[in-house]
Amino acid sequence: MGFILRAHHHYNRGYDRIATRLREDFAGSAAVACAWVAMDENHRALAVDNHGPTLRWAQRYAHRTLGKRAEDLHLVMSDVVDIAPPLVPRVDAVAALNFSALIYHDADDLKHYMQSARRNLRPGGVFVMDFFTGFKTGSTRTRITPDDPALPPFVYIWEQRALRPRSRRIDCRIAFEVGRGRGRRILRGFRYDWRLWSAEELVEAALGAGFDHADIWGKRYNAGLGFRSTRFGPLPRAGLGRLDPTGDNAVFYLVANRR
């Protein structure tokens, strides 16, 4: 939330504009949209996803966490490119998180999505999407103990299975390991067919889609102090070519602004 507010503020210095409306694309559980509404009584959010059962879960989650304020969150079942003003109100920020916009493999499809995100923005609005560099095949295992005592502990398995170097198409999976010993079972969860876009390609796509500014936000290295900042901020354009998609593992954000 702080990141979205900071990004909006960054491109609106000198204007009397405060971000109150958020749209979460590829919303899934709509956790970001719910947190946005919960943050301030003036906040409103729209969450868009094309999967009905997931949205129904999101609706129950919103009622549980927001109570009466759930009326300030609108869940819409649609492809993200098919729902835009005047069907829905314009917003101050469109967020496409958890690498969701990496589903576009083709530069024209990515640009088409960004054009549609831009159409949803008020003047001064920002589009925020995350992406990562540093694909290596392999898997990581994280043991999770849910807060809800009715749910058993399980292992969350994130697997980076394959990269096709020419198309930069990657195959990632999520699985869950439940039980122990002879009762141990692996539940296959999600499969992601993504493209590993580079920082420069994303900036180019955003500018091509009509945004007035497009920056890559990352954790900056402060040469004077000799360490990497823990806060995200816009990186110098000149260094973007060195962010190799298959180099070091790190998360970045594309932040694009409409004047």
Which stretches of the chain bind ligand SAM, using CB under 6 A? 26-29, 48-51, 54, 79-80, 97-98, 100, 103
CA distance linking residue 99 with residue 115, whole number of Å: 18
> In terms of Cα–Cα distance, which of 190, 147, 247 is closest to 54?
190
DSSP per-residue letters across 9-75: HHTTTTS-----EEEEES-TTTHHHHHHHHH-TT-EEEEEES-HHHHHHHHHHHHHHHGGGGGGEEE
- Our CB check for ligand SAM shows the closer of 113 and 217 to be 113
| Residue whose beta carbon is closest to ligand SAM | 28
* Partners of 238 in beta bridges: none
- Our CB check for ligand SAM shows the closer of 172 and 240 to be 172
Going by their DSSP bridges, the two strands 44-49 and 91-96 should be labelled as unpaired
- Our CB check for ligand SAM shows the closer of 51 and 141 to be 51
> At 149, is the secondary structure helix, strand, or coil?
coil
Q: How far is the CB of 211 from ligand SAM (least distance, A)?
A: 20
- Our CB check for ligand SAM shows the closer of 55 and 256 to be 55
- Our CB check for ligand SAM shows the closer of 66 and 172 to be 172
Q: How far is the CB of 48 from ligand SAM (least distance, A)?
A: 6
Q: How far is the CB of 83 from ligand SAM (least distance, A)?
A: 9
Answer yes or no: are the C-beta atoms of 222 and 128 closer than 8 Å.
no
Q: How far is the CB of 33 from ligand SAM (least distance, A)?
A: 9
Q: How far is the CB of 221 from ligand SAM (least distance, A)?
A: 27
- Our CB check for ligand SAM shows the closer of 80 and 240 to be 80
Amino acid at 86: P
Q: How far is the CB of 246 from ligand SAM (least distance, A)?
A: 21
Q: Is 236 exposed, middle or buried (0-12, 13-18, 19+ CB in 10 A)?
A: exposed
Answer yes or no: are the C-beta atoms of 121 and 151 closer than 8 Å.
no
- Our CB check for ligand SAM shows the closer of 75 and 240 to be 75
Give the number of C-alpha atoms closer than 13 A to the C-alpha of residue 208, restricted to the C-beta side: 13
Q: How far is the CB of 205 from ligand SAM (least distance, A)?
A: 16
Answer yes or no: are the C-beta atoms of 172 and 196 closer than 8 Å.
no
